[in-house]
């Protein structure tokens, strides 16, 4: 391992802010210095010329010669067992510059903390909690310990759950340990089906079922039957949502059945390459719309949570029909009261929060930057959004209760364009090649679909760690360039069908793409690109490593598709094919077994439908008194409420003009 020093990791402003923050929590702190450290894992030694190239690549910002780190020192690095987005990009750049010996470049921050007295154990723990994000980073005692970043292990094996011997109780225990969020009737359903098959389920099969049937993916509550005040209701919540479309479907080309909705646009010209030349193509330009939330990851770790929220929504738009082009985005936030230090407002009361989630202020300082950064780096203008705060003690049926957004709403949305012939996905014939497009598997975002479906506080903190994600917008742009080249071929578009890899990872996207056409599939686990060889079959199949798509490509077009991927430097792999038999089989060449061998109707079968019974409850609502309100003070308070106040800080953090197609943005007013 090489270690190459860099410049200061924090600006002077951020250092001053950090000193104040640390000194408030640990009075012994008197000063802070920081420095970037780069750790380079090599396959073989570099020549002197190559070492010079590497040094020059890692020279950015102020010179390291002007950086002196003093005081008690720690090194903060990406969480062990993960690969940071920066590392992925830096390694790619080094490899493309001819440094093929570079296996991986990672970076950390050397912190120097000036102290006027030694710290006790509690003070040290407090200080360390403030200089790193425990969800995405780890603290090392010295730079020499950074070797652990590149430690690899042998692939972990399958784990079988003994329901033939342990029955319902064995699966209930696995449900808690793996964070599957299975309901009682789903546990009964799985026990019955595996007993019928005469074998025990593997952990990978259980996690896949949990992801595919999570509230996040199947909307069990929104599709549930309801009894309200003793009366059965015919409509479901989803039925009520769809009612508008049912009664007013004119101009809607696709809704509630794909990754995004499509409405009819207008005829116009689009400028893209054809036959090796850029030229205008006249065609119907229809409009793709999408909005979704990314609440749980943003509550745990706001920057990557909001970044991957924006990234996931972009992928959903791009993976609509047989491929489309994202054009503009939005981001919205609902959080509890901010309680800004030194600027607390009269209506803000500290009601406490769960320890595993961050504060509303931290969310609003980091999450908007995460969403803006992803949009910026992907190359899409974010030109809309909203921001609300609410946290209030109110009367309820059981007495006073606190209502608010400790678990925030992080709304990501956007629009794009799609060709009319590409609005519908095609049928997938048996033998069609199934391709994963985009970045490699990594041990991140594990169980996110089920994790986001859990009631907050029900999962263990280890599961919260596992469901933290990381974004790589540059990789997503490469994927989108490949998708763009495909749909721009018009009738020759090689994409038969496409889905993005989101909640549940491949365990959700791969079965979904073949099941949509009544097919099964046969796949090889070890063909999936993988940057962490120590992962178990469950971790490879179910992780939510971002910036990936699953595509169905006709066998006769696969070489043409591969050429497009290579031109755009976009990783891809053929991982299997669709089959006539509706059976999902995933082989593992390393262990010479089949971790998954399930009928599709078991995976996507219908466990007993959820039934929810509720009653209206009455309680005393005090009258809203206005007699004692001072009008000028009331106006002043309303204007200071974030819901009403100036939101330009959420607008100016992004490039609203990127693509050159924005006619009006948020700063245009009366």
Mean pLDDT of 367-382: 96
- Sequence-distant contacts of 119-125: CB under 8 A, at least 24 apart: 119/26, 119/28, 119/72, 123/26, 123/28
CA–CA distance, 378 with 375 (Å, rounded to integer): 5
pTM above 0.85, yes or no: yes
Residue 66's pLDDT band (cuts 50, 70, 90): confident
Decide if pLDDT at 451 tops 60: no
Instruction: State pLDDT tens for residues 595-634.
Output: 999 999 999 887 677 889 999 999 888 888 888 899 999 9
User: Can you give the pLDDT at residue 670?
Assistant: 58
DSSP reduced 3-state for 498: strand
Decide if pLDDT at 466 tops 70: no
Instruction: State pLDDT tens for residues 89-135.
Output: 899 999 999 999 999 999 999 999 999 999 999 999 999 999 998 77
The residue behind tokens 């970043």 is: 149
Tally of CA atoms within 13 A in the half-sphere of 237 that contains its CB: 12
Q: How many residues in total does the chain contain? A: 670
| Tokens representing residue 179 in the block | 């964070």
Instruction: State pLDDT tens for residues 376-429.
Output: 999 999 999 999 999 999 999 988 999 999 999 999 999 999 999 999 999 999
Mean pLDDT score across all residues of the chain: 90
Mean pLDDT of 52-69: 86
CA–CA distance, 242 with 236 (Å, rounded to integer): 10
Residue 545's pLDDT band (cuts 50, 70, 90): confident
Helix ranges, 345-442 (H) = 360-378
Q: How would you list the strands of the sheet with 225-228, edge to edge?
A: 231-233, 225-228, 611-614
User: Can you give the pLDDT at residue 531?
Assistant: 81
Decide if pLDDT at 525 tops 90: yes
User: Can you give the pLDDT at residue 330?
Assistant: 95
Mean pLDDT of 347-362: 91
- 3 state SS for 4-36: EECCCCCCHHHHHHHHHHHHHHCCCEEEEEEEE
CB-CB contact of 651 with 329 (8 Å): no
């Amino acid at each position: 391992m090489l270690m190459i020093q860099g410049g200061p990791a924090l600006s002077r402003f951020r250092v001053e802010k950090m000193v104040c923050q640390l000194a408030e929590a640990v009075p012994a702190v008197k000063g802070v210095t920081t420095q970037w450290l780069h750790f380079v894992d090599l396959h073989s030694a570099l020549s002197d010329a190559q070492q010079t190239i590497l040094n020059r690549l890692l020279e950015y910002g102020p010179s390291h010669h002007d950086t002196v780190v003093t005081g008690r020192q720690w090194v903060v690095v990406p969480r062990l067992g993960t690969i940071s987005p920066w590392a992925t990009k830096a390694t790619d750049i080094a490899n493309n510059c001819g440094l093929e010996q570079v296996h991986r470049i990672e970076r950390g921050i050397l912190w120097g903390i000036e102290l006027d007295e030694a710290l006790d154990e509690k003070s040290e723990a407090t200080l360390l909690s403030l200089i790193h994000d425990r969800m995405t980073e780890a603290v090392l005692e010295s730079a020499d310990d950074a070797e652990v970043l590149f430690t690899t292990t042998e692939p972990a094996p399958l784990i079988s759950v003994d329901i033939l011997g342990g029955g319902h109780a064995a699966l209930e225990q696995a449900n808690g340990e793996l964070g599957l969020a299975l309901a009682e009737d789903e546990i009964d359903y799985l026990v019955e089906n595996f007993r019928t098959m005469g074998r025990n389920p593997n952990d990978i099969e259980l996690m896949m079922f949990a992801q595919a049937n999570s509230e996040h993916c199947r909307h069990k509550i929104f599709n549930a039957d309801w009894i309200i005040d003793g009366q059965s209701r015919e409509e479901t919540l989803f039925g009520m949502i769809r009612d508008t479309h049912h009664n007013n479907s004119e101009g809607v080309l696709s809704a509630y059945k794909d990754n995004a909705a499509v409405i009819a646009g207008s005829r116009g010209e689009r400028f893209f390459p054809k036959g090796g030349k850029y030229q205008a193509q006249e065609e119907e330009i229809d409009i793709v719309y999408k909005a979704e939330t990314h609440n749980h990851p943003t509550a745990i770790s706001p920057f990557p949570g909001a970044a991957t929220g924006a990234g996931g929504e972009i992928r959903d738009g791009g993976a609509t029909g047989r491929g489309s082009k994202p054009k503009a985005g939005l981001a919205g936030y609902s959080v509890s009261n901010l309680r800004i230090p030194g600027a607390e407002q009269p209506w803000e009361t500290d009601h406490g929060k769960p320890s595993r989630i961050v504060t509303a202020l931290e969310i609003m300082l980091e999450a908007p930057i995460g969403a803006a950064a992803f949009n910026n780096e992907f190359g899409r203008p974010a030109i809309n959004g909203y921001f609300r705060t609410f946290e209030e003690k109110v009367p309820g049926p059981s007495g006073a209760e606190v209502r608010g957004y400790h678990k925030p709403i992080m709304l990501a949305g956007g629009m794009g364009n799609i060709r009319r012939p590409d609005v519908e996905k095609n049928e997938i014939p048996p033998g069609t090649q199934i391709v994963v497009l985009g970045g490699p598997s990594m041990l991140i975002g594990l169980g996110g679909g089920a994790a986001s479906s859990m009631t907050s506080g029900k999962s263990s903190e280890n599961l919260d760690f596992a469901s933290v994600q990381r974004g790589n917008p540059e990789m997503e742009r490469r994927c989108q360039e490949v998708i763009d080249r495909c749909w721009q071929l018009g009738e020759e578009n090689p994409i038969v069908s496409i889905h993005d890899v989101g909640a549940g990872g491949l365990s959700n996207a791969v079965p979904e793409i073949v099941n949509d056409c009544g097919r099964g599939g046969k796949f090889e686990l070890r063909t999936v690109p993988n940057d962490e060889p120590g992962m178990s079959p469950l971790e490879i199949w179910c992780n939510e490593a971002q910036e990936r798509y699953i595509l169905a490509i006709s066998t006769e077009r696969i070489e043409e598709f591969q050429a497009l991927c290579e031109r755009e430097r976009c990783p891809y792999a053929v991982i299997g094919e669709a089959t006539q038999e509706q059976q999902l089989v995933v082989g593992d060449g390393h262990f010479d077994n089949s971790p998954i061998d399930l009928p599709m109707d078991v995976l996507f079968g219908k466990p007993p439908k959820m039934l929810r019974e509720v009653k209206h409850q009455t309680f005393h609502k005090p009258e809203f008194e206005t007699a004692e309100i001072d009008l000028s003070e009331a106006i002043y308070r309303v204007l200071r409420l974030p819901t009403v106040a100036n939101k330009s800080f959420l607008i100016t953090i992004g490039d609203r003009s990127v693509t050159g197609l924005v006619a009006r943005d948020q700063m245009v007013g009366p």
